[in-house]
Amino acid sequence: MAFDVSLTALKGVGPRMAERLERLGLRSVEDLLFHLPYKYQDRTRVVAIGSLQPGVEAVIEGEIEVCDIKFGKRRSLLCRMGDGSGSIMLRFFHFSAKQKQALERGVRLRCYGEVRRGPVMLEMVHPEYRQVGDEMVTPQEEYLTPVYPATDGVAQKTLRQLAVQALNLLRQGEVKDYLPPELLASSGLPSLQQALLEVHQPLPDTPVFELIEGDTPARQRLVLEELLAHHLSLRQLRHKAQQDAAPLLKPTGLLRKKILAALPFALTAAQQRVIAEIDADLAQPFPMQRLVQGDVGSGKTVVAAAAAVHAIEAGYQVAVMAPTELLAEQHRYNFSAWLQPLGLKIAWLSGKQGIKQRRENLALLASGEAALAVGTHALFQDEVVFDQLGLVVVDEQHKFGVHQRLALREKGSRDGQVPHQLIMTATPIPRTLAMTAYADLDNSIIDELPPGRTPVETVVISGERRAEVVARVHKACGEEGRQAYWVCTLIEESEVLQCQAAEEAATMLVEALPDLKIGLVHGRLKPAEKEQLMARFKANELDLLVATTVIEVGVDVPNASLMIIENAERLGLAQLHQLRGRVGRGSVSSSCVLMYHKPLSRQGKARLAALRETNDGFEIARRDLELRGPGEVLGTRQSGVLRLRIADLERDQGLLPEVGRLANELLQRWPGQVAPLIDRWLGDGQRYGDV
């Protein structure tokens, strides 16, 4: 049978339910078959109440001993149920008079729920339950119960009932398998049909841990197919991009020699290697798509500048896009210092610009008078027109959506050519993730820090020891002539509250440290005020800079040797590592103090421990991936990249070589199977490279 039929063909799916299911990307019976469980519940055996432990989920059966309404801060229906081995309380906050009437003394129930500690005895809060009779044996569940990704208006019960219908249809027919049997002959993995049946309806003796961790052959079969679909999608994107034409950039190199000669430092071997890789790309007739990874302070901006003058000398314009005003301003400052002495004009575009200044900069770009544009997302707005855009540099690309990044590339489309693209990140991406998520990009790594840099010592301290931390700031700034950052964080997204917290901290520090010159930087300051304060701090006119996380990237003050981060437990590993990278930029030993507030969660402890144990950005990124998962690390919530249904990049990295082998064979021998395989797993999500 055909599995591409609409879900409305199933019992219980009318127009309204179909609309809700579409929010989950479910339109056809096949979509439902590939909507896979993310965990399981064992409802196949009844557990004696007397053997229950808090925290477990279990099926219990017993008789209502007493049931009554308890009035207090919150009204609740309490029913004590026993089975001879012990008793448990069933607690309902939402209930009707009819429900209370049905749960009378002597009624026998079978319940499923999580066991919790209660004020008097163990409890189940809002368990699923049904009435059972003494005279009949209630059948046990035949399989482990799947739990599916859901959405508002679509209950687990509905998804399970629909999945059962789809699986019954699967037993009557066979879903199309796009991996030919000979391709998987040596793997020992089951057929697609068998794998789907086992993953949706595992037998009771299947260990739940193995099911969730992907260790069963059925799950491995689906993991392999999903990773293969993602890999092929990126291979297609890469092939498609190489069909586009791009300008061949072959300058004399005089501009670059002048810039490098004016630098107060020599390039590291890693920087020189990456620049050579970029030059080779820019000399090709198809667009460069290169990701440059480099730890905090490795000198990515100089590499970007070398690429920029390469394009400018060849007669093209360059756009440099950054995710925040502060980072964009830092790029503007650096590029101006390097390019303006050579007589090159720079246009500046940001969301907070005045109309007159914006018009002037737009005119410079449209006429070609400005060789380089620096800005935030304002660069890809409709009214921005380039005369001849040859290179796009995107910094911290994971903070932009895919559509935003590609919209900027589209601006350079002219006479059938598109600009080259250089993507930079100071958030190193674990190799496994880069191989899968960025398989469409060439990857360069600046794996060397400039000479003279000293590792930052990181300490973790409770907020209760604030007075000691303040004394440490006084010693560093007042006695040793160093500078320090005091970073304020809040869990709230509100910029107003973040600024308020920074203002309160600054007031406290001014009172505690009257002999120090203290400045305050936050997101609500005007760009000119922010720039002026940062310039004063850089010129050593301020001892201590109190700031929100706006200083996360782009700030370079070699004399700053101490950083305090308040509420450090509220930030992610990557952000903490970025902030720490603001110190240790000179030759003097530097420290980062992570102040936390109790109680500290298990994940919070793991994050702070990782920072204390290592300064290596790639190790930090690996641990970040373990703690948060690939979607978070890549910032794919807004970009739509890499939403995995059953695979896990960290857990399943051992399969990646096999994925590469299968991809090569499929492309060579069965190319017709590639597009439908990608469509099955990615569907609407396969827009990595399409605007």
Domain's final residue, options 124, 139, 154: 139
Residue 178 and residue 119 share a domain: no
> Are 442 and 506 found together in one domain?
no
Tell me the CA distances in angstroms from 190 to 32, 228, 653, 678, one per residue in order: 20, 16, 20, 20
Beta strands 420-425; 389-395: pairing state:
parallel
Residue-wise burial string across 119-133, b where 16 or more C-beta atoms lie within 10 A, e elsewhere: eeebbbeebebeeee
Q: Residue 630: its pLDDT value, please? A: 53
Flag whether the pTM goes above 0.75.
no
Domain annotation covers residue 235: no
Point out the domain boundary residue: 409, 428, 446.
Answer: 446
**Residue 645 domain-assigned?**
no
Strand-pair category, 456-462 with 590-596: parallel
CB 452, CB 587: distance < 8 Å: yes
Please give the Cα distance from 45 to 54 (Å, whole number). 18
The verdict on 156 and 12 lying in the same domain is yes
DSSP-assigned beta bridge partners for residue 66: 80
386 and 477 both lie in a single domain: no
pLDDT confidence of residue 302: 93
Give the model's pLDDT for residue 577: 87
**Residue 640 included in any domain:** no
pLDDT of residue 529: 83
667 belongs to a structural domain: no
Ranges of beta strands (E only) in 132-261 are: 145-147
- Over residues 449-468, the pLDDT tens digits come to 777 677 889 999 998 899 99
How far apart are the C-alpha atoms of 170 and 443, rounded to whole Å? 42
Give domain status of residue 629, yes or no. Answer: no
Asked whether residue 686 is assigned to any structural domain, the reply reads no
Spatial separation of the C-alpha atoms in residues 682 and 676, rounded to whole Å: 10
- List pLDDT tens digits, range 505-537: 889 999 999 999 999 987 777 777 887 888 889
Residues 292 and 345 in one domain: yes
- In order of 170, 198, 225, 575, the CA distances from 192 in angstroms are 11, 10, 9, 41
Give the residue among 280, 291, 275 at the shortest CA–CA distance from 248. Answer: 280
Within this chain, do residues 34 and 72 fall inside the same structural domain, yes or no?
no
- Which string of b and e fits 198-225 if b means at least 16 CB within 10 Å? bbbbbeeebeeeebbebebebbbbbbbb
What are the residue ranges in the chain where pLDDT is below 50? 491-493, 631, 633-641, 686-691
Residue 167 lies in a domain: yes
266 and 366 together in one domain: yes
Q: For the purposes of burial, counting CB atoms within 10 Å of the CB of 367, is it exposed (0-12), middle (13-18) or buried (19 or more)?
A: exposed
663: which 2 tokens? 């991809």
Three-class DSSP category at 69? strand
Q: What angle do CA 419, 423, 425 make, to 5 degrees?
A: 165
308 & 438 share domain: yes
**Domain that includes residue 16, residue range:** 7-41+146-206
Nearest by Cα to 261 from 338, 332, 346: 338
| pLDDT score recorded for residue 491 | 43
- DSSP secondary structure string, 146-172? EE---BTTB-HHHHHHHHHHHHHHHHH
**Residue 284 and residue 154 in one domain:** no
Number of domains in the chain: 4
Residues 440 and 588 in one domain: no
Range list of β-strands (E), 515-633: 518-521, 544-547, 560-565, 590-596
Same domain membership, residue 153 and residue 135? no
For residues 280 and 179, membership in a common domain is answered with no
CB of 421 closer than 8 Å to CB of 289: yes
Q: What is the CATH number of the domain that holds 82?
A: 2.40.50.140
Tokens for 159, please give them.
């998804």
Domain boundary among 592, 614, 636: 614
- Write the CA distances from 670 to 181, 674, 677, integer angstroms: 12, 8, 11
Please confirm whether the linkage preceding 558 is cis (ω < 30° from 0). Answer: no
What CATH number does residue 384 fall under? 3.40.50.300
Identify whether 121 is part of a domain.
Answer: yes
